[in-house]
Amino acid sequence: MLHVRCSTRVCHVVPCVTMTSPYFMHSRSVITRSGAQNAASSLRSKLTDRRSNVDPVCSVAVKVKVEEEEEEARIVAQRPSSAPLSTGGCQPKTGTLPLCAHSRRKRQVKVEYEKDEGVTPVKTEHWEPPDWKKQLGYIREMRSGRDAPVDNMGAKKCYDPEAAAHVRRFQVLVSLMLSSQTKDQVTAAAMQKLRAHGCTVEHILTTDDEALGKLIYPVGFWRTKVRYLKLTSAMLQNEFAGDIPDSVEGLVRLPGVGPKMAHLAMDIAWDQVSGIGVDTHVHRISNRLGWLKEPSKNPEETRKALEEWLPRELWSESNWLLVGFGQQVCLPVSPLCSVCLNQYSCPSAHKISPTKRPEAGSPRSPKPKTEPEQESTVKRERTKKEPLPTPVPPTAQRRRLKK
Ligand code: SF4
């Protein structure tokens, strides 16, 4: 029986704890709040006395037990005197002190774990094509001449700069509607005729379908476009006071206006970048250059995939750059890979048109040769064609000389 008491006064009595170790069998530890340290040191001295009879492994175990008991005594000493000292729910089946202290620590770990539940951070991986900056730089270089059809006849060039602001915006929308499936040259010519006739909401509504058809002919799907122009003009007059909507949601509600037109109209007419205007050129080139994580099936898929990684400040420029590049170099059929600055990094280079060269007279074709250059080329060609004289063996030469 082991009783530990404070020498001056007994402050608080804890329930007795039975020790299951051989060293604690039949022992009972009574620890007081103020005399906890004394109890531990007394216990240690008692155990030290017995150490001579203990094997090394057991000795280590005893040391651990003593330290744990000290820990327990410290916890007890810190507990308020009014608090019950009952081990309560953590009372181990064996009733040993170390297990009780251990289970307290375990419970704390559990609480922390529960706190972490539901706060699992969602990792989002940023992806971008490896060479896109270099490739975009090369496209800028190839587009530096600004001599593509889009530069002179695109939607930015088709409205009347002298007209009122809402009329200019309407004309931007009309030119975008006409440009679908139509070359820029044809769209620009149709817009010139329309503007001369009067390209306002009121004029379109008062013009009959046949006359309107003649004005916009030969743009692609001109009959359908006549119908869309009439329906859109009526909607603008009734719902938007003759102006065009200033949001993508409003614009796509108009008959014949899709997301590409809506984003371009927002950019050109309202000077607001809402998304990338992806037409057939942007869609094709993005796929050829490997600018999409997965190949896309349509322009809308391409737009979403590009907007995931392309910095927003480049959204407006990307349409203008790629459309012109697609009109001059990265053509839909037979792209001019041999003159493209991206041919060494583009995964599609020379796969679509291995031998295609720019047409004679096109801005990308090689310069015509001067006369001396042409003469030297002709001479080289002749030398190639004329067979070299057959060498005569020396014996045959001697025979000929004798004769
Ligand atoms: S290398 Fe050919 S396919 Fe690739 S971007 Fe240039 S022109 Fe287009």
Per-residue pLDDT tens over the stretch 29-87:
333 344 444 444 444 444 344 444 444 444 444 454 555 556 655 654 554 443 333 33
Q: How far is the CA of 348 from the centre of ligand 1 (A)?
A: 6
**Distance of CA 336 from the midpoint of ligand 1 (Å):** 7
Output the pLDDT for position 104. 46
**What's the CA gap between 55 and 212, in Å, rounded?**
109
**Pocket, ligand 1, Cβ cutoff 6 A:** 288-289, 329-330, 335-337, 340, 342-343, 346, 348-349
Nearest CA to ligand 1 atom 2: 337
338 CA → ligand 1 middle, Å: 8
Neighbours of 116 (CB within 10 A): 9
Average pLDDT over residues 157-186: 97
Are 255 and 231 in contact by the 8 Å Cβ rule? The answer is yes
- pLDDT value at residue 58: 42
Residue 312's Cβ-count burial label (10 Å; 0-12, 13-18, 19+) is: exposed
What is the pTM assigned to this prediction? 0.60
Considering only residues 4 and 286, tell me which one the structure prediction assigns the higher pLDDT.
286
Domain ranges in the chain are 17-111, 132-339
Tokens of 169: 């915006």
Radius of gyration of the chain (CA): 45
Give the pLDDT score at 140. Answer: 98
85 with 15: CB under 8 angstroms? yes
The CA distance from 188 to 184, in Å, is 6
CA distance linking residue 377 with residue 368, whole number of Å: 13
What pLDDT was estimated at residue 7? 43
Dist CA 399 CA 396 (whole Å): 5
DSSP structure string for 145-191: T--SHHHHHSGGGSS-TTS-HHHHHHHHHHHHHHHTTS-HHHHHHHH
Verify whether residue 106 is a known catalytic residue: no
Asked if the model's pLDDT at residue 295 lies above 50, the reply is: yes
In tens, the pLDDT along 353-397 reads 655 555 555 555 545 445 555 555 545 544 444 444 444 455 554
pLDDT the model gives residue 83: 38
Which pLDDT score is estimated for 376? 58
The per-residue pLDDT of the chain, averaged, comes to 75
Q: Which of 110, 157, 260, 304 is catalytic?
A: 260
Fold (CATH) for 132-339: Endonuclease III; domain 1 (1.10.340)
**Within 10 A of 319 (CB to CB), how many other CB atoms are there?**
24
Q: Over pLDDT 70: what percentage of the chain?
A: 57
